[in-house]
């Protein structure tokens, strides 16, 4: 992955990683399908908040990861693989809980004395894994790395409005903003808020966070080793500060298993104890295996089609609406994910509307346009737009079965309503560049993303769609939308901010710069030896492995 160093690129770097790498992490599905029919079978599934508490400690846990992490350096950790490891070793100023609320972490409290200032009181009595005490100076050094253009943090978008970060007391850090930014503090609950030892950062330099240097943080597990291509091993940190999250496994090993079939077979054979991003093409087999439980939990992900060319037929909103109406999304979801998940007409899940007013939730999820499957109405819109016979190009890649299902369905739907359409198949690496290089999107009208949010605020999604934003891939522009989102970002009160964000969601629902498909749950397989898991997407930022122990 290229580290982008210019300001515009860095503003979107984290979101590029979140979208592109999430696409690589899609769970595979077996059935083939078209725009209006499916040969797959929907399975029964339900959401789980948490499993039973452990009966006690366990000697070891082996956990399968779909990919080797890119880095354990928190400024570059934005993939599922990176963060599910990092979350157990390093900690942030705030803690993102399984219900996607925030609570104190390495900052035992914070204050917001005025709209331009955030003050964090660093927790006393915390030590790094080398035994050295956590200080305010460590927090300052860790946070300032995001502002260094030579480092090119993937999380720069969280820090883009920061004017200064300074130690202002024995255990106090003050962040001054250049403009009011309600989103900054919310970002302190994920990797953007991780605190590392300043001396370790200086000593390891370029080796920090890689297989040679590792990390030295404050979490319940400490880094032991990283064997490239094979595994990462952790062990409990005896000096961990939070008694409620002391590690219950005497050793924890992450094994890299890129082949979904091999991973599913290892889970069903009991060779590994669990895996996030459980392969849904094997969902029923995993459920029937008797080797553990396939669990589904809270997620913030929306599967969507990004409209990357508004100069062609899709520049007309009637054509975008027609194409969405021509997609039988229910059957596409059955074919792609065994029917696991829900169809959606908006770009956020209800899980990220923390603190929203009831009125905002109604506006955002009920007072919207619903795009029911209707080929005849879609044909009428195409005729009205005068684009019959015009061509669209859909970019896809052999990443997993959902890409196959959705690409075939989109092309079939486009042709069914009078458009011409073709699939342009890219290599996985070329597909990833669609999210970072505008030249790679030339000649491409549509491509798929699995876009997740990392903070409990829907505004994170709509901030990336303002005019000129790095991740506004189709250069969509709406003046009213821009004004609303900018006003919302400067609004501290969560309820008031949610009502502005709800209007932004309505506009995107009306204009469809991205075509929403579905909201899949977080999927995880937990083996028969262990328990104590909350199957929430917060696993990327919360020490979930510490909660696991013997059944």
**pLDDT tens figures, 244-295:** 999 999 999 999 998 888 999 999 999 999 999 888 878 899 999 999 999 9
What is residue 16's predicted lDDT score, i.e. its pLDDT? 32
What are the residues facing 95 on neighbouring strands?
Answer: 103
More confident residue, 426 or 78: 426
What is residue 39's predicted lDDT score, i.e. its pLDDT? 53
What is residue 94's predicted lDDT score, i.e. its pLDDT? 98
Is 528 found in the same domain as 505? no
What is residue 17's predicted lDDT score, i.e. its pLDDT? 32
When divided into structural domains, the chain yields a total of: 2
E strands in 377-416: 391-396
Q: CATH number, domain at 342?
A: 3.10.105.10
- Three-state secondary-structure class, residue 309: coil
pLDDT at position 54 over 70: yes
Closest CA to 106 of 135, 85, 130, 72: 135
Q: What is d(CA 543, CA 288) in angstroms, rounded to the nearest whole number? A: 29
Angle, alpha carbons 452-87-428 (nearest 5°):
45
pLDDT at position 32 over 90: no
44: number of Cβ within 10 Å: 9
Q: How would you label 1-30 residue by residue, b for 16+ Cβ within 10 Å and e otherwise?
A: beebeeeebbbbbbbbbbbbbbbbbbbbbb
Tell me the pLDDT tens digit for each residue of 83-134.
999 999 999 999 999 999 999 999 999 999 999 999 999 999 999 999 999 9
Q: Which residues span the domain enclosing 422?
A: 7-41+300-519
What is residue 259's predicted lDDT score, i.e. its pLDDT? 84
Is 314 found in the same domain as 414? yes
282: number of Cβ within 10 Å: 25
What are the residues facing 274 on neighbouring strands?
Answer: 63, 526
pLDDT at position 20 over 60: no
pLDDT at position 34 over 60: no
Residue 327 backbone phi and psi in degrees, to 5: -95, 120
CB 33 within 8 A of CB 331: yes
Is 336 found in the same domain as 209? no
pTM of this structure: 0.86
Q: Say if 483 falls within a structural domain.
A: yes
Q: What is d(CA 261, CA 265) in angstroms, rounded to the nearest whole number? A: 6
Tokens of 292: 């553990």
Average pLDDT, the chain: 90
356: number of Cβ within 10 Å: 23
What is the mean pLDDT of the segment spanning 404-431?
93
Is 515 found in the same domain as 534? no
Is 84 found in the same domain as 217? yes
- Highest averaged pLDDT of the listed ranges 24-28, 344-348, 396-400: 344-348
pLDDT at position 524 over 80: yes
Type and span of the H or E element at 265: helix 260-269
- Three-state secondary-structure class, residue 227: strand
Q: What is d(CA 40, CA 336) in angstroms, rounded to the nearest whole number? A: 8
3-state percent breakdown (helix, strand, coil) of the chain, nearest 5 = 35, 20, 45
What is residue 40's predicted lDDT score, i.e. its pLDDT? 67
Q: What is d(CA 232, CA 524) in angstroms, rounded to the nearest whole number? A: 19
CB 511 within 8 A of CB 321: no
Is 398 found in the same domain as 420? yes
CA distances 414 to 254, 375, 393, 441, 519, Å, are: 43, 10, 10, 20, 23
- Three-state secondary-structure class, residue 272: coil
More confident residue, 9 or 308: 308
Q: What is d(CA 106, CA 94) in angstroms, rounded to the nearest whole number? A: 6
- Which pLDDT band, with edges at 50, 70 and 90, does 190 fall under? very high
Q: Say if 409 falls within a structural domain.
A: yes
What is the mean pLDDT of the segment spanning 198-202?
98
Is 318 found in the same domain as 187? no
Is 312 found in the same domain as 252? no
Q: Say if 2 falls within a structural domain.
A: no
What is residue 158's predicted lDDT score, i.e. its pLDDT? 92
Of 95-109, 111-125, 431-445, 524-538, the one with minimum mean pLDDT is 431-445
pLDDT at position 430 over 90: no
Q: Say if 46 falls within a structural domain.
A: no
What is the mean pLDDT of the segment spanning 217-228?
97
Q: Say if 268 falls within a structural domain.
A: yes
- Which pLDDT band, with edges at 50, 70 and 90, does 354 fall under? confident
Based on C-alpha coordinates, what's the Rg of the chain?
A: 23
Q: What is d(CA 44, CA 129) in angstroms, rounded to the nearest whole number? A: 44
Q: Say if 47 falls within a structural domain.
A: no
Is 179 found in the same domain as 232? yes
More confident residue, 159 or 427: 159
Is 431 found in the same domain as 333? yes
- Which pLDDT band, with edges at 50, 70 and 90, does 7 fall under? very low
What is the mean pLDDT of the segment spanning 24-38?
32
Q: Say if 1 falls within a structural domain.
A: no
- Which pLDDT band, with edges at 50, 70 and 90, does 22 fall under? very low
Q: What percent of the chain has pLDDT over 90?
A: 83
What are the residues facing 549 on neighbouring strands?
Answer: 531
Is 353 found in the same domain as 287? no
CA distances 286 to 206, 338, 525, Å, are: 41, 13, 8
- Which pLDDT band, with edges at 50, 70 and 90, does 461 fall under? very high
Q: CATH number, domain at 179?
A: 3.40.190.10
pLDDT at position 217 over 80: yes
Q: Say if 97 falls within a structural domain.
A: yes
Residue where the block lists tokens 């959401």: 47
Q: What is d(CA 517, CA 392) in angstroms, rounded to the nearest whole number? A: 18
Tell me the pLDDT tens digit for each residue of 135-173.
999 999 999 999 999 999 999 989 999 999 999 999 999
Is 539 found in the same domain as 396? no
> What one-character DSSP code corresponds to residue 118?
E
CA distances 280 to 40, 64, 295, Å, are: 12, 15, 11
What is residue 404's predicted lDDT score, i.e. its pLDDT? 87
Q: What percent of the chain has pLDDT over 70?
A: 93
Type and span of the H or E element at 198: helix 198-204
More confident residue, 302 or 432: 302
């Amino acid at each position: 992955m290229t580290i982008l160093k210019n300001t515009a690129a860095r503003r979107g770097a984290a979101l590029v990683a979140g979208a592109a790498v999430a696409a690589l992490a899609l769970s595979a599905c077996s059935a083939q399908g078209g725009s209006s029919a499916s040969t797959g079978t929907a399975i029964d599934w339900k959401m789980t908040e948490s499993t039973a508490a452990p009966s006690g400690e366990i000697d070891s846990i082996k956990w399968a990861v779909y990919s080797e992490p890119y880095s354990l350096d928190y400024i570059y950790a934005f993939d599922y693989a990176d963060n599910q490891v990092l979350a157990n070793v390093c900690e942030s100023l705030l803690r993102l809980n399984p219900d996607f609320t925030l609570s104190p972490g390495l900052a035992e409290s914070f204050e917001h004395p005025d709209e331009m200032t955030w003050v964090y009181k660093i927790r006393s009595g915390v030590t790094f894994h080398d035994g050295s005490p956590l200080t305010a100076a460590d927090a300052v050094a860790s946070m300032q790395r995001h502002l260094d253009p030579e480092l090119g943090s993937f999380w720069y978008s969280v820090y883009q409005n920061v004017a200064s970060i300074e130690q202002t007391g024995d255990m106090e850090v003050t962040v001054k903003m250049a403009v009011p930014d309600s989103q900054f503090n919310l970002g302190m609950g994920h990797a953007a808020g991780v605190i590392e030892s300043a001396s370790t950062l200086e000593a390891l330099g370029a080796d920090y966070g890689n297989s040679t240097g590792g990390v030295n943080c404050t979490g319940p597990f400490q880094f032991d080793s990283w064997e490239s291509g094979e595994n990462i091993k952790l062990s409990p940190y005896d000096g961990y500060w939070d008694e409620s999250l002391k590690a219950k496994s005497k050793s924890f090993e992450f094994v890299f298993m890129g082949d979904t079939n091999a991973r599913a077979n290892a889970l069903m054979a009991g060779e590994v104890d669990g895996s996030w991003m459980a392969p849904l093409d094997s969902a029923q087999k995993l459920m029937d295996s008797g080797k553990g439980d396939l669990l589904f939990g809270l997620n913030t992900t929306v599967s969507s089609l990004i409209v990357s060319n508004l100069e062609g037929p899709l520049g007309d909103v009637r054509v975008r609406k027609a194409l969405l109406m021509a997609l039988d999304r229910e059957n596409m979801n059955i074919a792609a994910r065994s029917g696991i998940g829900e169809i959606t007409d908006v770009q956020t899940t209800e899980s990220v509307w923390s603190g929203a007013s009831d009125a905002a939730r109604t506006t955002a999820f009920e007072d919207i346009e619903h795009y029911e499957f209707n080929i005849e109405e879609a044909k009428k819109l195409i005729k009205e737009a005068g684009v019959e016979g015009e061509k669209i190009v859909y970019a896809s890649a052999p990443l997993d079965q959902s890409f196959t299902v959705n690409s075939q369905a989109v092309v079939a739907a486009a042709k069914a309503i009078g458009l011409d359409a073709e699939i342009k198949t890219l290599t996985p690496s070329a597909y990833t560049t669609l999210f970072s290089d505008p030249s790679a999107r030339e000649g491409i009208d549509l491509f798929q993303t699995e876009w997740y949010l990392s903070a409990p605020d829907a505004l994170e999604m709509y901030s990336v769609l303002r005019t000129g934003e790095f991740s506004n891939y189709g250069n969509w522009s709406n003046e009213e939308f821009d004004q609303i989102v900018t006003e919302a970002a400067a609004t501290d009160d969560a309820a008031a901010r949610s009502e502005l964000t709800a209007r932004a969601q309505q506009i995107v629902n009306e204009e469809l710069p991205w075509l929403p498909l579905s909201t899949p749950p977080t999927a995880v397989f937990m083996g028969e030896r262990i328990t104590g898991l909350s199957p929430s997407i917060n696993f990327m930022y919360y020490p979930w492995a510490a909660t696991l122990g013997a059944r």
